[in-house]
Structure 1
């Protein structure tokens, strides 16, 4: 999955909200069939998601969060919303790699039923249980895994599971967040997202939170309000100044190579192949958004 900077949650039973989310500045949306949808509206949420996928065009990604494996809904969620326009399923409440395999089997059956290429729909584990965080390496080695979401939200499933008391500074989740980034990079994943900032009106807090997590290695953030998308896009994106810096760095290094040098000085810094490759990757990621 491409490294989306901003992924906006929207409850699936609110059809007009889905349309508004698709029109927002978020790089992708997540149509929720799980916690934000009341029990009587689960079927409606699936119908709305399918209709949105049927009419979707453009580059905005669409993910769907199905209900967990301990519910009666997960099978219908996968069967009814697997679609050629679907980027992937955000998998909730995982406990082991076996849970990823179970979802993979359902998606494969749905792809066959709809005439889609096997493996076209990706799976994005959401790490919101103590067991899933502990077993992150094996979970990310599961089938179809195209990205990962680390949960570090205030008073959510993960805080109850792990037992931490949330702070805006995030010291209590630093190990958790770092562990996920390292495992994701080791698995070769490009999309490593974090969820989420719950203080809707605290934009300065959101910006500090996003900037810090981008510095830790996260490529994007799950959002709960469309006004947060521009901040996330800026915080997880590449500023014009940094783009210019990286472009100049690559140019300087390549010129040095043409002159037979393995390293050069650029703006006072020692630059070699590792620095050039880092700059190239940053520019490639920025170019995909």
Structure 2
């Protein structure tokens, strides 16, 4: 099952990486971008490289790089190697992904890594990224999409309400692009209120209904809520198993005892529920 929770750790705070890796997070993102002051970028790169060398006890360690050309090259030079699960590229657009692929290809060759060894999660948070979401999905190395709504809202000049209703159409575009290209369901945005777990549960449930199956987190206390939100409950699993049991092995459709028609689309949803169980 793809990761449900990705926990951000500021790259210049290496003491937090082991704590994050020991949490319930499915994966950790060492952030070299927004969480790091400009003056601490070099320190963060060195700390991230050391954390990758030290390992994490099995928790995948990703790195969010800076999208600017000079910073991107410096970030990748510091972190590409053993221990790196992959790279998150902010403000992902086709041209930026092509540049990233070129840099990664050169580093892999230089460091004796297999070609294509470093996968990429493309973080869509610009208008161009949204408009070209399908092309972003098809870019080399991209294994998943995420959405960053703070930067996107600013560029679009929208003022989202607490439920970010104004961005729901954009979320659907990202979900559609992933489904059309065969990528896993995308990663939803952070919940910036790190103390309100009720709100986190509510917004995670909304993301699940909208087609997301993971989200990023800013604090370890958010992780269990996110994991629970994207994991099917025992009741949901039992209902899906009962539904699938009503369809004979040699049939693709059936009618349940209540008269509801069970077609392949309904069965596919039931199987997806079991995958999340």
Q: Assess if the C-alpha contact under 8 Å between 2:30 and 2:63 holds in 1.
A: yes
Residue in structure 2 matching 1:122, options 119, 123, 136:
119
Show the counterpart of 2:174: 180
Counterpart-to-counterpart distance in 2, 1:268 and 1:262: 13
Other structure's SS at 2:171 match: helix
Q: Which moved more, 1:269-278 or 1:81-90?
A: 269-278
For residue 47 of structure 1, what is the aligned residue in structure 2?
46
How much does 1:269 deviate? Answer: 3.6
After superposition, the C-alpha distances for 1:241-271 in whole angstroms (9 at most, x for unaligned) are 1122222323332xx135x674242676432
Which of 239, 245, 249 is the matching residue for 1:257? 249
Asked if 1:23 is matched to 2:22, the reply is yes
1:279 equivalent in structure 2: 270
Distance in 2, matches of 1:106 and 1:266, equals 58
Task: List structure 1 segments (4+ residues) > 4 angstroms apart after TM superposition.
Answer: none
Q: Distance in 2 between matches of 1:134 and 1:211?
A: 26
Judge which range, 214-223 or 158-167, deviates more. Answer: 158-167
Contact 1:146/1:191 (8 A) holds in 2: no
TM-score by length of 2: 0.92
**Which residue number corresponds to residue 6 of structure 1?**
5
Structure 1-normalised TM-score? 0.89
Match of 2:183 in 1: 189
Instruction: Specify which of 216, 233, 237 is matched with residue 231 of structure 2.
Output: 237
Give the secondary structure class of the aligned counterpart of 2:74.
helix
Change (3 A) 1:165 1:50: same
Q: Say if 1:263 and 1:273, in contact at 8 Å, map to a contact too.
A: no
- Matched residue, 2:37: 38
Paired with 2:114 and 2:274, the residues of 1 have a C-alpha distance of 30
Report the Cα offset of residue 194 of structure 1: 1.2
Match of 1:86 in 2: 84
The yes-or-no answer on 1:147 pairing with 2:144 is yes
What is the CA-CA distance between 1:238 and the residue it aligns to? 1.3
CA contact (8 A) 2:94 2:139 kept: yes
How many residues are treated as equivalent by the alignment? 277
Contact 2:146 2:187 in 1 (8 A): yes
Question: CA contact under 8 A between 1:29 and 1:62: conserved in structure 2?
Answer: yes
Task: From the superposition, tell whether residues 245 and 97 of structure 1 become closer, same or farther in structure 2 (CA, over 3 Å).
Answer: same
Q: Distance in 2 between matches of 1:208 and 1:168?
A: 11
Matches of 1:52 and 1:108 in 2, distance apart? Answer: 23
Report the counterpart of residue 211 of structure 1 in structure 2. 205
Task: Indicate if the aligned counterparts of 1:168 and 1:205 stay in contact, CA closer than 8 A.
Answer: no
